[in-house]
Amino acid sequence: MIYGEFLVKCQKLEEHSKYDQRIFTVFLKHGGESRTVKHFHFTDWSDMKIPEFLDPILDFLEIVKNTSQKNVPNTIVHCSAGVGRTGTYITLDAMLDMAQAEGKVNVYKFVTEMRQRRFIVELASLKDTNKKTNETFLTEQFKKLEETSTTPSSSNVSEAKKMENRSRNRFSTILPVEEHRPFLMTNVGENYNNYINASFLNGYKKKRDFFIATQMPLKNTILDFWRLVWDYECSVIIMLNELDDKSQNIRTVMQMQCLGWPNNETVANSPELLLHCVHQLSQWCKESAIDRVLVHCMDGVGRTGVFCGLVAALDQAQAVNEVDIFQLISNMRSAQPLMIQNLVCT
């Protein structure tokens, strides 16, 4: 694109579930000088609204810090008006730096100084989640996850609790939240509706709602399962439980069953086999235009959550050289509060 005396080329684009990252090269048309500009676009914050969760913003802040070059003279931060979301981002960034350097924050003073420079900002507070205990760090994080996970209200699982849908749930305690459940669209008769016990999940590098997590089909939900595959153009099905009855494929898809994980075992016999399944999925994604992946186990939350979390964790490690398991699981639980219910230390 040409803007006056400048020629701007997008050299690279990485699309993530909550943000996009671009690398631009800016050329001065007369003189031949060029500069590289990294562009980070946070996509999960609508105008005139408050974000549903703070965690994605904090993750975004950390990613920007880790991937930006050191000693950068200036960073441009903008939103639609240049004051609300912009001011909030700058405040969070500054307070995180202050907390690390001084062990305390002074939000009021910083915001006052910004307003003196014609900024209008929204105040944000941070909660300390690193309390020291006598337990292992992993156990502490899991307990914190349990404490911060919310139980959906009856209105949030109203469709799942309807009389005609109760028989479609393998477990009465594991129900999809309305906001994150896929609606079935293919009309197959009067005895079927738009309900299936399934939830959309985001990957890390993959697009929003890349995964659909669901339970092993019941005899009365096999048709619904394939409606789900068809309606949401699922190119891949990941099966994480042992096969308890024979089934027939009725559409051309790539199906992968991860073996070596007996139904009565909490942990897979061989973690290497599970990693192999993840690697195989990655290869399929590289070789084919895969828009969405269906992942299921018996209950749709245990092994399914482990697999989706593992994919996201490996993608995050590859992208930023670190992994935040707590936030990954927390993000999954925002869609389905019962994702990954057990902690196993080996």
Say yes or no: 22 and 142 in one domain: yes
Is there a domain that residue 21 lies in?
yes
- Using CB atoms within 10 A of its CB, is residue 4 exposed (0-12), middle (13-18) or buried (19+)? exposed
Same domain, 279 and 243: no
Say if residue 30 is in the same domain as residue 158: yes
User: For 85-106, what is each residue's pLDDT tens digit?
Assistant: 777 887 888 888 888 888 888 8
Question: What string of H, E and C letters represents the secondary structure of 134-178?
Answer: CCCHHHHHHHHHHHHCCCCCHHHHHHHHCHHHHHHCCCCCCCCCH
User: Which pair of tokens denotes residue 310?
Assistant: 């593992």
On whether the CB atoms of residues 295 and 304 are closer than 8 A, the answer is: yes
Task: Read off the pLDDT of each residue in 215-238 and give the average, rounded to a whole number.
Answer: 80
Nearest to 44 by CA among 208, 179, 183, 193: 208
pLDDT category, 114, cuts 50, 70, 90? low
pLDDT band of 341, cuts 50, 70, 90: confident
Mean pLDDT for the stretch of residues 259-273: 80
Q: Do 70 and 211 belong to one domain? A: yes
User: Is residue 195's pLDDT more than 90?
Assistant: yes
Q: Is residue 295 located within the same domain as residue 153?
A: no
User: What is the structure's pLDDT at 74?
Assistant: 61
pLDDT band at 38 (very low <50, low <70, confident <90, very high): confident
> Residue 286: its pLDDT value, please?
81
Look at residue 250 in the predicted model and tell me its pLDDT.
44
> Quick check: 109 pLDDT over 80?
no
pLDDT at 10 over 60: yes
Say yes or no: 278 and 243 in one domain.
no
- Residues 6 or more apart whose CB falls under 8 angstroms from that of 77 comprise 86, 89, 90
Q: Which domain holds residue 314?
A: 271-335
Percent of the chain with pLDDT over 90: 5
The encoded tokens of residue 1 equal: 């694109």
Question: In this model, does residue 235 exceed pLDDT 70?
Answer: no
Q: Are residue 111 and residue 22 in the same domain, yes or no?
A: yes
- Does residue 185 share a domain with residue 117? yes
> The whole model's pTM is what?
0.48
DSSP state of 44: S
Identify any residues that bridge with 199 across adjacent strands, giving them in sequence order. Answer: 213
Domain boundary, last residue among 214, 247, 280: 247
Same domain, 139 and 37: yes
Averaged over 50-66, what is the pLDDT? 83
Stretch 279-298: mean pLDDT, rounded? Answer: 83
Instruction: Please give the DSSP secondary-structure letter assigned to residue 69.
Output: P
Structural domains in the chain (count): 2
Neighbours of 277 (CB within 10 A): 22
> Residue 291: CB partners within 8 Å, gap ≥ 6?
207, 233, 235
C-alpha to C-alpha distances, 33 to 6, 9, 70, nearest whole angstrom: 10, 14, 22
Position 183 scores a pLDDT of 92
Say if residue 217 is in the same domain as residue 284: no
Do 133 and 215 sit in the same domain of this protein?
yes
Residue 133 and residue 35 share a domain: yes
In a domain, 261, yes or no: no
